[in-house]
Amino acid sequence: MAFPTFLTVILALPLAGFAIVALTPRRFEEFIKWIAVFFSAVTFVVSLGLLAQPFAQNGGLLWLGKAEWIPSANISYALGVDGVSILLVLLTTLLSPIAILSSWTNITERVKEYYAFMMLLEVGMIGVFVSLDLFLFYIFWEFTLVPMYFLIGIWGGPRRQYAAIKFFLYTMAGSILMLLAILWLGINGGTFYLPDLIANLTIPIETQRILFLAFALAFAIKVPLWPLHSWLPDAHVEAPTAGSVILAGVLLKMGTYGFVRFNLPLFPEASREFAPWIGGLAVIGIIYGAWVSFAQTDVKKLVAYSSVSHLGFVMLGIFSFSSIGIQGAILQMVNHGISTGGLFLIVGMLYERRHTRELDQFGGIWKVMPIYGALSLIIALSSMGLPGLNGFVGEFTILMGSFNSPELGSVWFTILSTLGVIMAAVYLLWMFQKVYLGPLDKDENKKLADVNVREVITLIPLLVFIFWIGLFPDVFFKLMEPSVQALLQNIPAVAMK
């Protein structure tokens, strides 16, 4: 098979950016920043080229390529995208320049290392979504931990070291059993190339369960699925703004993507057996995340816990085993990236001005920063799932998918999750009221500068997608549908849409 040139180019672009930044003497800070923005923006533009090939009706993999890497161990350098991963790749390439742009005035120390790590991180993230070889996937998966660890640990908040090492060890420990499962699969399947494994390998149900759990542990920690979420609040809160945007926007999706890409196709029977359990944990996460979110006084922590809640929806959608549910889940992955990424951006803007994130310290901000207030409102409403905006489409389709799902087996999953929708409105509106509305009684808040051009530029793309996905989601569903259908066809005896 051919060498995956186009996808390698997409991977190589941020790597080239990294190389240039690494070689630039550290005093040329402005140049470094421009290089970082330039390369990540170029990566985004080039990645749009992935849409050039129409997605095949049978949901096949596009831009596929497989090159020999370590033939004696049956390891190949195989890349490809399909309807499941293309949106996530585009999300990654979209959020990276936005995150880099948002750090412009934020990061003043060790600028060179910061942007170098951001570029490395982008390579790792894209690699996770396009890898079709298990070994390659594992390498990219683990590799993203290193830059993220340093980003949190060096440029983070007061408890950054604790948060960074907790994030690192927690995630690494989770993935280590996945390594074992990958080895088992590769050896028994005779190859590490995913499509061949899916097509040819039949695994007895007992082994399937164990392998499913091994993979699921790694992914569940990443998502994070309750109760494996305790690394998340620390990591999100202590990370610098751009770090939180990337962490919430992309890294968490790696976990949910893993479930769709690996657990469901490779271990179909075990997945269906575990569906109600995972669904149950998801629902607990939805409610727990929302509940704890409401109790927070630190805005960033509030948003962090909201991620647990939102991704519970995604997990519910995936394990509903319905086409509409899984499509909704993937769309919601993108939506969460956009809205929570946006939330972290606006929290970051506020923090840059006031150096505090306590809800009590604000109030009446909208009066002083009108444009900022308007943009924040749209993003908050999107996260809440207001009809007409992106969040609603995702949540609605997920709930539709889980409603009659035979795998989940009970309407209570849907009913309790709908509670989560209401609770999301509660904590987000509460947050909005405390920060933006109400009397402007704190002196420090009276002289805050409104958003500048650069900050607006970071938010505009998000707003575009918030409205686009919310009002005209069909084009996105068309992208996903063939691949999701193909995925479900491989899972025996699938029920309704």
Partner 1 sequence: MTLPTLETINLLAVMPVLTLVGWGCLVLVFDLFIPATRKYWTAWLTVLGLGLTAIVLAVQAMAFLPGHPQSAFNGMLTVDGFALFLQAIFLLAAFVGVLMALNYLPRRGIERGEYYTLLIFTTTGMMFMSMAADLVVVFLSLELLSIPLYILSGFARPRVDSEESAMKYFLLGAFASGFLVYGIALVYGGTQTTALSGVVKAISGSAPNLPLAIIGLGLILVGLCFKVAAVPFHMWTPDVYQGAPTPVTAFMSVGAKAGGFAAMLRVLVAAFPAISGEWGALIAVIALLTMIVGNFVAISQTDIKRMLAYSSIAHAGYILVALAAAADPKVAPFAVSAALFYLLTYTFTNLGAFALVIAVEKDDGTGTLIDDFAGLGKAKPMMAAAMAVFMLSLVGFPPTAGMVGKWFVFQAAIQASNTNVLLLIVTIVGILTSVVSAFYYMRVIVVMYFRDGAGNAVMRPPLAAATAAMAIGTLALGVIPAPIFQMAQQALLKIAG
Interface contacts to partner 1, rule CB under 8 A = 68-73, 110, 113, 135, 138-140, 142-143, 145-146, 150, 153-154, 161, 165, 168-169, 172-173, 176-177, 179-180, 183-184, 186-187
User: Is residue 369 within 8 Å of residue 451, measured between CB atoms?
Assistant: yes
Taking the least distance from each CB to partner 1, the nearer of 140 and 465 is 140
Taking the least distance from each CB to partner 1, the nearer of 142 and 407 is 142
Question: Measured at the alpha carbon of residue 357, what is the angle toward residues 354 and 358, in degrees to the nearest 5?
Answer: 115
Q: Tell me how far, at minimum, the Cβ of 66 lies from partner 1, in Å.
A: 15
Residue reference for tokens 């996105």: 476
Q: Tell me how far, at minimum, the Cβ of 352 lies from partner 1, in Å.
A: 23
Taking the least distance from each CB to partner 1, the nearer of 186 and 312 is 186
Taking the least distance from each CB to partner 1, the nearer of 22 and 374 is 22
Q: Tell me how far, at minimum, the Cβ of 161 lies from partner 1, in Å.
A: 5
Q: Tell me how far, at minimum, the Cβ of 100 lies from partner 1, in Å.
A: 21
Taking the least distance from each CB to partner 1, the nearer of 72 and 202 is 72
Taking the least distance from each CB to partner 1, the nearer of 146 and 457 is 146
Taking the least distance from each CB to partner 1, the nearer of 150 and 476 is 150
d(CA 370, CA 357): 19
The values of phi and psi at residue 105, to 5°, are -100, -5
Residue reference for tokens 């890294």: 251
User: Is residue 42 within 8 Å of residue 93, measured between CB atoms?
Assistant: no
Taking the least distance from each CB to partner 1, the nearer of 71 and 439 is 71
d(CA 131, CA 57): 22
User: Is residue 259 within 8 Å of residue 134, measured between CB atoms?
Assistant: no
Taking the least distance from each CB to partner 1, the nearer of 9 and 491 is 9
Taking the least distance from each CB to partner 1, the nearer of 148 and 424 is 148
How many CB atoms are located within 10 Å of the residue 159 CB? 13
Q: Tell me how far, at minimum, the Cβ of 102 lies from partner 1, in Å.
A: 23
d(CA 468, CA 108): 35
Q: With H, G, I as helix, E, B as strand and everything else as coil, classify residue 227.
A: coil
The candidate with the shortest Cα–Cα distance to 445, out of 364, 341, 359, is 364
The candidate with the shortest Cα–Cα distance to 333, out of 138, 86, 82, 81, is 86
Token output for 400? 């539709």
Token output for 232? 């998340």
- Report in angstroms the alpha-carbon separations of 122 from 77, 372, 417, 470: 19, 28, 33, 27
Taking the least distance from each CB to partner 1, the nearer of 69 and 430 is 69
Q: Tell me how far, at minimum, the Cβ of 244 lies from partner 1, in Å.
A: 19
- Report in angstroms the alpha-carbon separations of 495 from 58, 256, 272, 404, 477: 19, 22, 11, 9, 20
User: Is residue 53 within 8 Å of residue 62, measured between CB atoms?
Assistant: yes
Token output for 146? 């290193």
Residue type, 157: G
d(CA 88, CA 66): 21
Q: Tell me how far, at minimum, the Cβ of 315 lies from partner 1, in Å.
A: 25
Q: Tell me how far, at minimum, the Cβ of 153 lies from partner 1, in Å.
A: 6
Q: Tell me how far, at minimum, the Cβ of 24 lies from partner 1, in Å.
A: 13
Question: Measured at the alpha carbon of residue 166, what is the angle toward residues 160 and 172, in degrees to the nearest 5?
Answer: 135
Q: Tell me how far, at minimum, the Cβ of 187 lies from partner 1, in Å.
A: 5
Q: Tell me how far, at minimum, the Cβ of 163 lies from partner 1, in Å.
A: 12
User: Is residue 331 within 8 Å of residue 314, measured between CB atoms?
Assistant: no
Taking the least distance from each CB to partner 1, the nearer of 82 and 113 is 113
Q: Tell me how far, at minimum, the Cβ of 118 lies from partner 1, in Å.
A: 16
Question: Measured at the alpha carbon of residue 181, what is the angle toward residues 175 and 186, in degrees to the nearest 5?
Answer: 125
Residues near 322 by beta carbon (within 8 Å), at least 6 away in sequence: 401, 402, 404, 405, 488, 495, 496, 497
d(CA 94, CA 175): 27
Taking the least distance from each CB to partner 1, the nearer of 70 and 415 is 70
Please name the helix (run of DSSP H) or strand (run of DSSP E) that holds residue 63, with its range, or none. Answer: strand 62-70
Q: Tell me how far, at minimum, the Cβ of 469 lies from partner 1, in Å.
A: 34
